[in-house]
Amino acid sequence: MSSVLITGANRGIGLELARHYAADGWQVHATARDLTSATDLKAVSGNITCHALDVADRVAIRQLADKMTDPLDVVIANAGVSGRPDGGGMPGTIGDLDYEGWRDVMEINLFGAVATCEAFLPHVEKAKGKLVAISSQLASNANAFLGSYPYNSSKAALNMAMNLLAIEVKPRGIAVGTLHPGWVKTDMGGQHAPVTPSDSANGLKQVIAGLEPAERAHFVDFEGNTHPW
């Protein structure tokens, strides 16, 4: 049976990914910061195991990886934050930048995602599988006209880290993706977003299935279109 680990799976895109993989018969390892309130995740039917994990806690990431010994075909570092205190708006223009808030965004979107890939690399190596980060079109220099300093820079740095990772793990037969999920109707994407979480997850799952080891990460959107760096 194929297996996947998904971080931040209690709501939004992560929850839909868990539902789609579970519905397809995969063994799903789904993580959430607070398992007690992860009622939607716990209601997902299928072969699913839930784990408590805050990706800002690198010791906890390592402990979870040490606890799990089975191979993983796919690891999806999905957990992320916008950096907006209320989940809306775009904070911080020059002269008004919140460096502590920016550091928090980096901690989760960059270090949390990379540390997840690093800790579970041995599991993915056993399966000659795939390491995936959920990035954003806002990481792209082509989109440098919108977004926020913390969010865009965290995802741009993530893309660079995933590129370096791709070079390192290609000889071990591992593929690396840094994927744009679309503008998705979630707490982060907001109600005006045109893509449903289900369509995003369905597309991401198909894209992930097609990823091959390469000299750089695949920066691709949920519809399979290669994204400009």
* Closest distance to ligand NAP from the beta carbon of 141 (Å): 16
* Closest distance to ligand NAP from the beta carbon of 225 (Å): 14
State the greatest distance between any 2 C-alpha atoms of the chain, in Å, as a whole number: 53
- The contact set with ligand NAP (CB under 6 A) reads 7-8, 10-14, 33-34, 53-56, 78-81, 108, 112, 134, 136, 180-181, 183-184, 186-189, 193
Nearer to ligand NAP, 150 or 181 (CB): 181
Nearer to ligand NAP, 13 or 169 (CB): 13
* Closest distance to ligand NAP from the beta carbon of 74 (Å): 15
* Closest distance to ligand NAP from the beta carbon of 128 (Å): 25
Nearer to ligand NAP, 42 or 170 (CB): 42
Nearer to ligand NAP, 25 or 194 (CB): 194
